[in-house]
Amino acid sequence: MKVTVIGTGYVGLVTGAILAVQGQDVTCVDIDQKKVDGLRRGILPIFEPGLDKVVALAVSRGNLDFTTDAATAAAVSDVIFLAVGTPQSESGAADLTYLETAAESIACSAKKGAIVVIKSTVPVGTNKHIAEIIKAKCGYDIDVANNPEFLKEGTAVADCQNPDRIILGVRNKRAGDILEQLYAPLLASAVKCKLFTMEPESAEMTKYAANCFLAMKISFINEIANLCEHLEADIEDVRRGMCTDRRIGWEFLNPGAGYGGSCFPKDVRALVSQAEAMGGDTRILKTIDEVNERQKAVMPRKVLAHFKGDVRGKKIAVWGLAFKPGTDDIREAPSITLIESLLKGGAEVSVHDPEAMKNIEAIFGNQITYHDEKYAALKACDALVVMTDWEEYKGLDPSLLRWHSNGNVVFDGRNCLNRDWFSLSNTDFYSIGQEPLRSAVCWPKEAKNETPSENTANAQTELAQPGKAALVLACL
């Protein structure tokens, strides 16, 4: 089938590339000439694990190309996906400007019988709205369907290749049949994928309901974690006790510094806004967002409290800027709230992230320092704050922290470090929903001049066995 995908962001590019490797003839369109030029040269505009290989494979087979010319691509396509951004507007509602422009850009050229598929996350009723825009422009009806996307940044390729479900919001059987045919290779290869056909309005609501529910799980566990801190309970024990209940499960119940990203914050607010526009009351939805905004202030508060309310002149390292591991996306990331607060308080900030540094630099410019190597960011620092649970941070060895930084203070905003190791290493260790660990002594300054012992240098290897590692550290 000939397919056009409008928008080459996280959703559009992944969708286009996966459909292309499955044999469809795909053209990806973007208004951003620089992105398209880069894609033609094999440079991806985003980081997403494995996406470079999928794109390269599809291009080498001749199934995927890139253009800024939406009309020409749409003119020969059987299916036209709209996968542009639907960001939050000032009122909190979804801003449909990009979607409307994208729809207009293909309206007159889409051939009769083509299906326009909204993949962007949109308020209930958008399907009708876009169908009207297209009809007003081209003078005849074109089928507009909804096919919400459930991929997660960081695992987008795998999610798209192996989805839990495909939702088709269609007005008639023909549109459903064509889309089912388009997805037939995916349905055949996916491990356990269900296909549901429904009205577009239900498809639109399904996406919002799913995202709001996941956001609610995060806000819920964060609220319980905050209570734990005041009640001498340990959230990690509570989580184990709670999540082993099969009715509850483990997913999206990790306490942390708050959720971010391009979806949860705006989608929760968009549904609240849509409900309010109808005079509806959405107490749960509003609270999810409020709890999350409060949670984003938790790490700045912990840092400030440790330094007795004054971080002026303190050098703070921040590891992890992306809103979650596996992505370079920093939209609404809690790291931004933290850095803003530290700078406001007069601290010096040095940062590291494996993928998101360019994006954070676009916000903070020369106000902070950037390090390609994570330990370089620690140099002469008074404290480290971990804001994203990248794999490469999880094995942080307390003795290496002490060696590279000025102090022995760590804030674990994702409960991803090994608390046991730090408990034996005389560190001030703060996490979420757990009692802080306090160091009994300050490390002597002269210790910084020693070269690390062989034990210390090899500690990360040793730490692969936590029990043994704890002993090694205790003896250093």
Would you call 350 helix, strand, or coil by DSSP?
A: strand
Would you call 328 helix, strand, or coil by DSSP?
A: coil
CA 461 from centre of chain? 30
Interface stretch with ligand NAD, choices 51-59, 148-156, 309-317, 356-364 (CB under 6 A): 148-156
Within 8 A by CB and 6+ apart from 303, the residues are 311, 316, 338, 341, 342, 383, 385, 411
Number of residues near ligand NAD (by CB under 6 A): 28
Residue 30 binds to ligand NAD (criterion: CB under 6 A): yes
Could you tell me the sign of the dihedral formed by the alpha carbons of 252, 157, 321, 448, in that order?
Answer: positive
Residue 80 binds to ligand NAD (criterion: CB under 6 A): no
Residue 7 binds to ligand NAD (criterion: CB under 6 A): yes
Residue 265 binds to ligand NAD (criterion: CB under 6 A): no
Calculate the alpha carbon distances from 266 to 116, 147, 259, 285, 331 in Å: 24, 19, 11, 12, 10
Out of 65, 153, 289, 389, the residue judged to bind ligand NAD by CB under 6 A: 153
Calculate the alpha carbon distances from 115 to 82, 145, 172, 302 in Å: 11, 7, 11, 52
Name the β-bridge partners of 116: 80, 144
Interface stretch with ligand NAD, choices 98-106, 242-250, 338-346, 435-443 (CB under 6 A): 98-106
Q: State the binding string over 100-129 for ligand NAD (x if CB under 6 A, else -).
A: -xx--x--------------xx--------
Nearer to ligand NAD (CB atom), residue 35 or residue 314: 35
Query: Within 10 Å of residue 95's Cβ, how many Cβ atoms?
Result: 16
- Say if residue 166 is exposed, middle or buried (CB neighbours under 10 Å; 0-12, 13-18, 19+): buried
Give the active site residue among 28, 160, 212, 263. 263
Smallest distance from the beta carbon of 14 to ligand NAD, in angstroms?
Answer: 8
Smallest distance from the beta carbon of 296 to ligand NAD, in angstroms?
Answer: 19
Residue 10 binds to ligand NAD (criterion: CB under 6 A): yes
Residue 262 binds to ligand NAD (criterion: CB under 6 A): yes
In angstroms, the CA 473 to CA 334 distance is: 31
Nearer to ligand NAD (CB atom), residue 262 or residue 415: 262
Q: Is 263 a catalytic residue?
A: yes
Smallest distance from the beta carbon of 261 to ligand NAD, in angstroms?
Answer: 7
Smallest distance from the beta carbon of 196 to ligand NAD, in angstroms?
Answer: 17
Q: What is the amino acid identity at position 456?
A: T
Cβ 186 vs Cβ 157: under 8 Å: no
Interface stretch with ligand NAD, choices 9-17, 133-141, 182-190, 223-231 (CB under 6 A): 9-17
Pair of tokens at residue 360: 């954070």
Name the β-bridge partners of 244: none
Could you tell me the sign of the dihedral formed by the alpha carbons of 46, 50, 53, 54, in that order?
Answer: negative
Name the β-bridge partners of 94: 88
Please name which of 428, 438, 424 lies closest in space to residue 405, comparing C-alpha atoms. Answer: 428
Residue 73 binds to ligand NAD (criterion: CB under 6 A): no
Out of 3, 5, 12, 360, the residue judged to bind ligand NAD by CB under 6 A: 12
Nearer to ligand NAD (CB atom), residue 154 or residue 255: 154
Residue 88 binds to ligand NAD (criterion: CB under 6 A): no
Residue 83 binds to ligand NAD (criterion: CB under 6 A): yes
Residue 147 binds to ligand NAD (criterion: CB under 6 A): no
Nearer to ligand NAD (CB atom), residue 321 or residue 400: 321
Smallest distance from the beta carbon of 200 to ligand NAD, in angstroms?
Answer: 15
Out of 78, 149, 289, 412, the residue judged to bind ligand NAD by CB under 6 A: 149
In angstroms, the CA 368 to CA 223 distance is: 31
Smallest distance from the beta carbon of 262 to ligand NAD, in angstroms?
Answer: 5
Site for ligand NAD in 305-324 (CB under 6 A): none
Residue 51 binds to ligand NAD (criterion: CB under 6 A): no
CA 360 from centre of chain? 14
Total length of the chain:
476
Residue showing the smallest CB distance to ligand NAD in the complex: 9
Rounded to 5 degrees, what angle do the CA atoms 213, 271, 99 make? 115
Smallest distance from the beta carbon of 339 to ligand NAD, in angstroms?
Answer: 22
In angstroms, the CA 393 to CA 463 distance is: 13
Please name which of 289, 14, 266 lies closest in space to residue 121, comparing C-alpha atoms. Answer: 266
Write the DSSP symbol of residue 61. Answer: T
Smallest distance from the beta carbon of 149 to ligand NAD, in angstroms?
Answer: 4
Out of 3, 5, 9, 109, the residue judged to bind ligand NAD by CB under 6 A: 9
Out of 4, 8, 226, 405, the residue judged to bind ligand NAD by CB under 6 A: 8
Interface positions with ligand NAD (CB under 6 A): 6-12, 29-32, 35, 70, 83-86, 98, 101-102, 105, 120-121, 149, 151, 153, 262-263
Give catalytic residues, as residue numbers.
Answer: 263
